[in-house]
Amino acid sequence: MSIFNIITILIVLSAIFAFINTKYLKLPFTIGLMIIAIVFTLAITILGSFNPFILQEADLLINSIDFETVLLDVMLSFLLFAGALHTKLDSLKKQRGPIALFATMGVVVSTFLIGTMMYYLFGLFGHPINYIYCLLFGALISPTDPIAVLGILKDANAPKKLETKIVGESLFNDGVGVVVFLVIFQIARQGIGAVDAGDVAILFLEEVVGGIALGLLGGYLTFRLMKVIDHYETEVMITLALVMGLSVLAHTLHVSGPLAVVVAGIFIGNKSPEIAWSGTTQTYVDKFWELIDVLLNAILFVLIGLELLIITVNSEYIMFGLLAIPVGLLARYLALSGPVALFQKKLDFIPKTTTIMTWGGIRGGISIALALSLEAQMERELFLTVTYIVVVFSIIVQGLTIGNLVKRVVSKSNLQD
């Protein structure tokens, strides 16, 4: 199947599902599209039992799409930049301490907590798995997905300082999470004895510090270019070139592309409106990236729904997936508790910040993409199914209820005040 045909099918399905959701379901955009895509996939599976040709064509479509490459190498940079472009630096500065700890130590602590708990659970139920493979699962499921979080929080009307923490963490922790995953993946592939601790530390620093430095440099150079012209068509093209150029450069230089585009997006979004852009340019840049955000979000969550066709479904895998849900939530709660306690008095957090951030930590496409990158001997089929179950629960159940949780906590806080 040609690339054009695949893109056409995905956009047509996304448009149809978006219409159904907007007209009838009226659910939050990303959640509605994924639910419809899952129902659509189940319908195809049922129809395929009567007419195998339908299922064969659906399998052909899904197997023609390299989900890992499409998300991590293509879509992720555009979606992160679109989110970072509208993130205000003043808010991030005030919350920089907890956000930095959430996105670094929080991911590392969560990785080891999830990996350790799942290791003992697998052993308890008679399915022993190498500890390093359990850590890989911990690494891929720990980062919250900024794509899912940004869309859902818009509908939740969360207090600004809480939204800043969750969004700020999500924008940065997936870049860190991917780096942690790659480090553990390298150890799992080569063996613990073949990887030196110093090399691991250097790799981590190169990816993180290198990505931030590249993003600052790219953002600054782009800002200087746009400052000397006033032509919105050209300036929109420059922002597009920035995202694509940073992605290619980051891959070539072996630094974190997600961190690079996030830093560049925050830099451009905060410096350019006041200095480099006219009012017309700002309007067009904002609308262009909002449209990119909506379109790619629609395609991504339709893809997540359709991925149901390729996961292995059996009672054991489903059981481990259901067990992984509370494990992931508990690990996230414990990983967040330290930074929240450390900064709570200084920054005047709203009540139950840890609980809200735990429930608001939505997992999404990044986790599925990383699970798909596992090798067969790393229990790929098991972890892919477990990851899919956690992601679906996270997006649908947590995504649909986080708004009510926020409102309830905020209303109680106002009554106490």
**Whole-number pLDDT of residue 413:** 62
- The candidate with the shortest Cα–Cα distance to 283, out of 296, 267, 272, is 272
Torsion sign over Cα 383, 113, 108, 156: positive
| CB of 268 closer than 8 Å to CB of 243 | no
3-state secondary structure of 181: helix
Angle between helices 257-275 and 160-190 (to 10 degrees): 150
pTM of the model: 0.90
Please tell me what DSSP assigns to residue 195.
S
In order along the chain (417 residues), what is the average pLDDT of each group of 10 residues?
88 96 91 93 91 88 88 88 86 84 93 97 96 96 77 66 80 86 88 73 86 96 96 96 96 92 94 92 95 90 90 93 97 94 81 89 90 93 96 92 82 58
CATH number for 67-416 (one of 3.10.20.600, 1.20.1530.20, 1.10.3720.10, 3.40.50.280): it is 1.20.1530.20
Torsion sign over Cα 226, 254, 69, 107: negative
Residue that has been written with the tokens 């679906």 in this structure: 392
- The candidate with the shortest Cα–Cα distance to 260, out of 346, 172, 368, is 172
Which residues, 6+ apart, have CB-to-CB distance to 280 below 8 Å? 232
**Whole-number pLDDT of residue 346:** 79
* DSSP assignment string, 317-331: HHHHHHHHHHHHHHH
**CA angle at 153 for the pair 348 and 99, rounded to the nearest 5°:** 45
Residue that has been written with the tokens 């047509």 in this structure: 12
| CB of 410 closer than 8 Å to CB of 350 | yes
Q: Residue ranges per domain, the chain?
A: 67-416
**Whole-number pLDDT of residue 152:** 67
d(CA 40, CA 134): 32
